[in-house]
Amino acid sequence: MSVVGEQLQPTIFELSRPGRGGGKIPHPPAGALDRIPASARRATPPALPEIAEPEVVRHYVNLSTLNYAVDTGFYPLGSCTMKYNPKLNEWAARLPGFAALHPLAPDAAAQGTLQLLWELEAMLAEISGMTAVTLQPAAGAQGELTGILMVRAYHASRGDLERTEVLVPDSSHGTNPATASMAGFKTITIPSAPDGGVDLDAFRAALGPRTAAIMITNPSTLGLFEARIGELLEATHAVGALAYMDGANLNAILGRFRPGEAGFDVMHINTHKTFSTPHGGGGPGAGPVGVRDALEPFLPGPRVIREADGSFRLERSGERPTSIGRVRSFFGSTGVLVRAYAYLRSHGGTGLREVSDDAVLAANYLKALVGQAYQVPFDRPCMHEFVASAADLKHRTGVRTLDVAKRLIDKGYHPPTIYFPLTVEEAMLIEPTETESLETLDGFAAALIEIAREAETDPELVTSAPHDAPVRRLDEASAARQPNLRWRGMTGSEMPCPD
């Protein structure tokens, strides 16, 4: 069974023939560019392809069928929360009133969007237990940078300039240590304890007057709630450091745990995970950041302000001198935020709690089934995702997690996240989400169990998978050694015809 289309496509450059396409834009008046000095002009026209619209459409439709997607099948990619993307949200973001609004439109012309953003900030503050929220960051990683730069500004504002270190558990996403570096901090890696949580003794030993912040993903990337979170937060604050929560796994704890209320000082939220603004094949996302009182003065600008008369406006440049400044142009990824707003309103407070309940139930159910054939390293309830390991299978049969993942493709499923977190051998991080039916979960578990059986009886079948995908495994080494990052074939007869 092939789960995606089979027809590989020529590139758009190969489809190009001089003289095809065009006719969409009225011809400009002759001499329209005469006032541009010759020295400022481009010498040769860009070698862009010339293709008629029917072929353009066929190209992109056929290419799209080579993708596996949430709308084509089960996508249990751990830490990515690949839940269903409601179509209402796509429709809403395209309403002309939202889509055609210029980012520098005067506040009076943007009241609908400003109200939506203001309400969204309030909803996210309630969900996160934080005092205030910025919607500016374009993605989770930019949210992290925003948060850690605020931490830096906070310490600096107190004359506390010796704090140069950020503590990060070894199971964290790579963005955490990369963020600490970008913000000018040194990363101190904290090992995990055998139960999967942060090693409290090692953590306490690393904390000190040089600690600016800790960055904790909770639930952790092992899919476990950090049961010692109270102790971690208390120890952090006792040395004058701040606590950052990576909200990548927020889908497990909606209405169950509010990080700000529990003592975290700052967190980001991935709207493209928890609130189902789609992933878009790698982006766009949005990474709103919530903070408690102490960090509020440092939020990036502009913020949305509600005036006494009920109207809304954007903060003006320089209005709040304590701000860390801008982290991007204009207000933010508003089109993504419209989708998040629609998602939150459609669920409401009770629906969001059900989201987490069902996500956690689905993960525990799947864990029970998958545990029949694979190791499940932590014997306690998981949150919205769990780690399975093919380490035993590998030692017995030579079949690795990578092979299991590729064989899942043949069986019609997207593989889970593999070899992450780094702390578990032959890891598979599996996150089913709350929008998958019982039949889908049963089918996926059966496929994984069948692959384990195939590994015993016919390992070659598994190690050579996938067999039913548009391409087989790729030569990634050559791709990296001699990178070919752009098409260079547009020469001679394929060059655009002159005007």
Binding mask 188-207 for other proteins (x = CB under 8 A): --------------------
Instruction: Check: CB of residue 359 under 8 Å from CB of residue 251.
Output: yes
Taking the least distance from each CB to other proteins, the nearer of 207 and 384 is: 384
Candidate segments 28-36, 199-207, 290-298, 388-396, binder of other proteins by CB under 8 A = 28-36
Interface residue with other proteins, options 160, 162, 201, 261 (CB under 8 A) = 261
Using CB under 8 A as the binding rule, whether residue 103 contacts other proteins is answered as yes
- Which residues sit opposite 166 in a β-bridge? 187, 213
Comparing CA positions, the residue from 380, 353, 355 lying closest to residue 367 is 380
Task: Restricting to residues 448-467, name those near other proteins by CB under 8 A.
Answer: 466
d(CA 178, CA 166): 11
Q: Is 57 helix (H, G, I), strand (E, B) or coil?
A: helix
Instruction: Check: CB of residue 410 under 8 Å from CB of residue 1.
Output: yes
Q: Decide the pairing of beta strands 242-246 and 211-217.
A: parallel
d(CA 234, CA 210): 17
Q: Is 348 helix (H, G, I), strand (E, B) or coil?
A: helix
Interface residue with other proteins, options 158, 237, 328, 453 (CB under 8 A) = 328
Phi and psi for 463 in degrees, rounded to 5? -70, -20
At closest approach, how far in Å is the CB of 366 from other proteins?
Answer: 9
Comparing CA positions, the residue from 298, 173, 335 lying closest to residue 246 is 173
At closest approach, how far in Å is the CB of 347 from other proteins?
Answer: 6
At closest approach, how far in Å is the CB of 297 from other proteins?
Answer: 15
At closest approach, how far in Å is the CB of 159 from other proteins?
Answer: 17
CA 308 to chain centroid, in Å, comes to 37
Taking the least distance from each CB to other proteins, the nearer of 85 and 397 is: 85
At closest approach, how far in Å is the CB of 44 from other proteins?
Answer: 8
Task: Restricting to residues 305-324, name those near other proteins by CB under 8 A.
Answer: 317-318, 324
Phi and psi for 237 in degrees, rounded to 5? -70, -30
Q: Decide the pairing of beta strands 312-314 and 304-306.
A: antiparallel
Comparing CA positions, the residue from 263, 480, 250 lying closest to residue 344 is 250
Interface residue with other proteins, options 309, 486, 491, 493 (CB under 8 A) = 486
At closest approach, how far in Å is the CB of 172 from other proteins?
Answer: 9
Interface residue with other proteins, options 120, 130, 132, 145 (CB under 8 A) = 145
Q: How many CB atoms lie within 10 A of CB 56?
A: 15
Taking the least distance from each CB to other proteins, the nearer of 328 and 396 is: 328
Comparing CA positions, the residue from 454, 376, 336, 432 lying closest to residue 70 is 432
* Interface size with other proteins, residues (CB under 8 A): 212
Interface residue with other proteins, options 75, 275, 374, 386 (CB under 8 A) = 75
At closest approach, how far in Å is the CB of 456 from other proteins?
Answer: 24
DSSP for residue 111: H
Taking the least distance from each CB to other proteins, the nearer of 16 and 456 is: 16
Using CB under 8 A as the binding rule, whether residue 303 contacts other proteins is answered as no
At closest approach, how far in Å is the CB of 35 from other proteins?
Answer: 6
Task: Restricting to residues 43-72, name those near other proteins by CB under 8 A.
Answer: 43, 45-51, 53, 56-57, 59-61, 63-72
Using CB under 8 A as the binding rule, whether residue 113 contacts other proteins is answered as yes
At closest approach, how far in Å is the CB of 85 from other proteins?
Answer: 5
Q: How many CB atoms lie within 10 A of CB 13?
A: 16
d(CA 129, CA 264): 9
Taking the least distance from each CB to other proteins, the nearer of 227 and 456 is: 227
Name the region of 2 (left: φ>0; alpha: ψ -120 to 50; beta: rest): beta
d(CA 223, CA 218): 8
Binding mask 427-446 for other proteins (x = CB under 8 A): -------xxxxx-x------
Taking the least distance from each CB to other proteins, the nearer of 138 and 216 is: 138
Task: Restricting to residues 404-423, name those near other proteins by CB under 8 A.
Answer: 405-406, 409, 414-415, 419-420
Q: Decide the pairing of beta strands 266-268 and 242-246.
A: parallel
Q: Decide the pairing of beta strands 186-190 and 165-169.
A: parallel
Candidate segments 204-212, 250-258, 291-299, 423-431, binder of other proteins by CB under 8 A = 250-258
Instruction: Check: CB of residue 295 under 8 Å from CB of residue 155.
Output: no
Taking the least distance from each CB to other proteins, the nearer of 202 and 212 is: 212
Q: Give whole-number Cα distances, 131 to 123, 260, 318, in Å.
A: 11, 8, 22
Interface residue with other proteins, options 307, 309, 379, 475 (CB under 8 A) = 475
At closest approach, how far in Å is the CB of 417 from other proteins?
Answer: 8
Binding mask 337-376 for other proteins (x = CB under 8 A): -x---x-xxxxxxxxxxxx-xx-xxx-xx--xx-------
At closest approach, how far in Å is the CB of 5 from other proteins?
Answer: 8
Instruction: Check: CB of residue 144 under 8 Å from CB of residue 244.
Output: yes
